[in-house]
Amino acid sequence: MHLSEAFLHHIDQLGWNLTQKRLLLAVSGGLDSVVLAHLCREAGYDFAIAHCNFQLRGAESDADAAFVRALAATLAVPYFEKSFDTNSYSVEKKISIQVAARELRYAWFEELLQQPWGAHARCTMDDSFLLTAHHLDDSIETLLLNFFKGTGVAGLTGIPVQNGRVLRPLLFAGRGQIRAWADARALSWREDSSNSDTKYTRNALRNEVLPLLEKLFPQVRQNLAHNLERFAGLEAVYRSSIDAQLKKLLEWHGSEARVPVRKLLQATPLDTVLYELARPFGFTPGQTNGLRRLLDSGPGRYIDSATHRALRYGVWLQVVPLQGRDNRLHLLERNESSVLLDEQVLSWEEWTAAPAVMPPDPAIALLDARDIRFPLVVRRWKEGDYFYPLGMRKKKKLARFFIDSKLPRHLRERVWVVESHKKIVWVAGLRIDDRFKVTPATRKVLQLRLAAVSPSDNASLPAGSSERSGTPPSGTRE
């Protein structure tokens, strides 16, 4: 079967029905993407070409763009081109050039899919897809890279044929088959000089490791291609078993997940279940041993991924999101009634009479206003901070107060303190300082209130916006 026929047959087997879709082709100008463009033209698909100029190879990059521009004109399809300052983006985000290029191009492709163009310009996002020219050899290389890096079973299935709106219709074909089809039609394409640079791991694997393996095992590519199919079936069975175990183990509390340690220790095989449990939260295979040790550790121990924290808390292993900390120092002036802290608002009111009964809500603090001076300083707590907890005559460091209060470690990091003249008057949401408590001699009461707000509410909280009733709340003392 010729490549053209195999291409259509493969797409038909996948049930994609691309004749009814609007397609965006990512075309670099290399052999694979040029062949994909010509195959789509022969198939009569409605498509446009998008080319990214990452400006990494100077005049060569510009020549690639000119080539793809001419290709789009020859095929009479819409053409999009964008230049990126990839080096600056890489430095700014502290990521590799390869990762930077991937993030930049896929973000742009997503934008293009939402714009009107082509014969099916009225197509919705549900009918618009991105096509890339990844082929079988790319998938084999991905299998080996993942194997050598120590990935899970899913990584051994190679490149997925579909990932959301990204379709890869050439994954059935090897590089040799694609090259033969292009030569038979006298097609021209661009050769990327960086593809021969073995400082990149994939290039070293492609140009040095695989050729050596072929000398030892002449059928290595065919064998690995068959392994991709076998691993896909194995992964389906594996996934079903793992998901069944995780469903029994995981408990969700909002955005926080927790697992009973004793129950987890009975899972078989433990390290595999632990890895699959932690993987969706950004933990790497190399952190599995650390997570295993966490199960035998005391309360308060934790390990961080890029996005989450796994924390030993009592009989639980908790996984909580790492939130960006607002470490700024805020000043609450007398002419301002509130200040925004992350997704909370701290507000104040002043009364001329003390309440008959103290409110039970820990998010509300009632203080004797006599010795409190504005501006109030609102900041994150830090090591060495101390105060006199309500009901105590002796000072206590906040670190010890948190331990005695059994406040989880991941919640301690979110605590704010309110200061007046370098004295902590309130550990927000937890306890006031005994030196500023309301007494029978109090003549003016300062109420501080900490309340959660959604991002959409932020605009309604300008300085001086809250109303003051002058009426103290009722309740009972803490």
452's CB contacts (< 8 A; 6+ apart) are: 343, 344
Q: Classify residue 208 by its DSSP letter.
A: I
Are 346 and 450 within 8 A, CB to CB? yes
Comparing CA positions, the residue from 81, 209, 74 lying closest to residue 140 is 209
| N residues, the chain | 478
**Bind-site residues:** 28-33
**Bind-site residues for ATP:** 28-33
Q: What secondary structure does DSSP assign to 237-290, as a single string?
A: HHHHHHHHHHHHH-EEETTEEEEEHHHHHT-SSHHHHHHHHHGGGT--GGGHHH
Are 103 and 73 within 8 A, CB to CB? no
Helix axes 136-149 and 220-249, enclosed angle (nearest 10): 60
Q: Computed from CA positions of residues 416, 418, 422, 425, in that sequence, does the dihedral angle turn out positive or negative?
A: negative
Are 68 and 97 within 8 A, CB to CB? no
Comparing CA positions, the residue from 351, 377, 381, 383 lying closest to residue 364 is 351
Q: Computed from CA positions of residues 287, 288, 293, 296, in that sequence, does the dihedral angle turn out positive or negative?
A: positive
314's CB contacts (< 8 A; 6+ apart) are: 299
